[in-house]
Amino acid sequence: MDIEKISVNKIAERATINRVTFYLHYKDIPDMLEKMADEMMENIYRILRTSAPQSSEKQVLQEQEKWPMLVALLEHIAENSKFYTVTLAFKRSPIFTDRLLKPLVGIIKDKVDNAGQDSFLAKAGIPRDIAVWFGSSAMIGMINAWLRNDMPYTPRYLAQQMLLLLPHYFGGASTGENHPTTREEIK
């Protein structure tokens, strides 16, 4: 769906409201999309807060976590796929991409920071910012491609594949320690 082809008339007709009602709530279509993006970001932050591991012990976190935040995020995106397909795929105005990057960067920063001195990142001397850029870009690209291809995989399966593709964020990747390497270990 091309956002530029959407008109206030089409929105009002589809929502069974009149144009006056639309303009009571929004200045124009970009304003509507901004407000929708704000609301979705509130939902994303709520999801990330409620799905975050509760333990503060690093060992327990590594064993328990298995990226429940990513699964919860992907489930939310799947439930709201029409919105995310339009807002993430719209190239001329990245309405939502920059906003979605912020929590993804936060997730990746936590992973990088918790990787430890024995991790591939530390041993290879990869700067933190490069690791964060790579991880967050990979995640946003994966989500975009998943949506563009009509979500051929479940959110859980997609999160599992991320675990297998990006093991360096879980520490010990060069030795095979502390990160899942098979689908069975992820479950």
Residue 180 lies inside a defined structural domain of this protein: yes
pTM for the full predicted model:
0.73
When comparing pLDDT for 5 and 54, which is higher?
5
pLDDT at 57 > cutoff 60: no
Q: Which two tokens stand for residue 78?
A: 């799947």
Number of domains in the chain: 1
Residue 64 in 3-state DSSP?
A: helix
Q: Which two tokens stand for residue 168?
A: 């360096």
Q: Quote the CA–CA distance of 53 and 80 in Å, as a whole number.
A: 24
163: closest CA among 58, 59, 68?
Answer: 68
Residue 70 lies inside a defined structural domain of this protein: yes
Residue 4 lies inside a defined structural domain of this protein: no
Q: Quote the CA–CA distance of 38 and 17 in Å, as a whole number.
A: 22
Helix axes 68-79, 97-113, angle to 10 degrees: 170
At residue 19, the pLDDT reads 92
The enclosing domain of 83 has a CATH number of: 1.10.357
Residue 148 lies inside a defined structural domain of this protein: yes
Q: Quote the CA–CA distance of 72 and 67 in Å, as a whole number.
A: 9
Quick one: 139 exposed, middle or buried, by C-beta within 10 A (0-12, 13-18, 19+)?
A: buried
Q: Quote the CA–CA distance of 117 and 175 in Å, as a whole number.
A: 12
pLDDT tens across 94-150, in order?
A: 767 788 888 888 878 887 887 778 878 888 888 889 988 888 888 888 998 999 999
Residue 23 lies inside a defined structural domain of this protein: no
Helix (H) or strand (E) holding 26, with range, is none
Residue 20 in 3-state DSSP?
A: helix
At residue 172, the pLDDT reads 43
Q: Which two tokens stand for residue 163?
A: 């675990």
Q: Which residues contact 119 (CB under 8 A, 6 or more apart)?
A: 168, 170, 171, 172, 173, 174
Residue 20 lies inside a defined structural domain of this protein: no
At residue 187, the pLDDT reads 54
When comparing pLDDT for 148 and 60, which is higher?
148
Position 157 confidence tier, pLDDT thresholds 50, 70, 90:
very high
The residue-averaged pLDDT of 8-17 equals 91
Domain of residue 161 covers 34-186
Position 36 confidence tier, pLDDT thresholds 50, 70, 90:
confident
At residue 60, the pLDDT reads 47
Residue 12 lies inside a defined structural domain of this protein: no
Residue 5 lies inside a defined structural domain of this protein: no
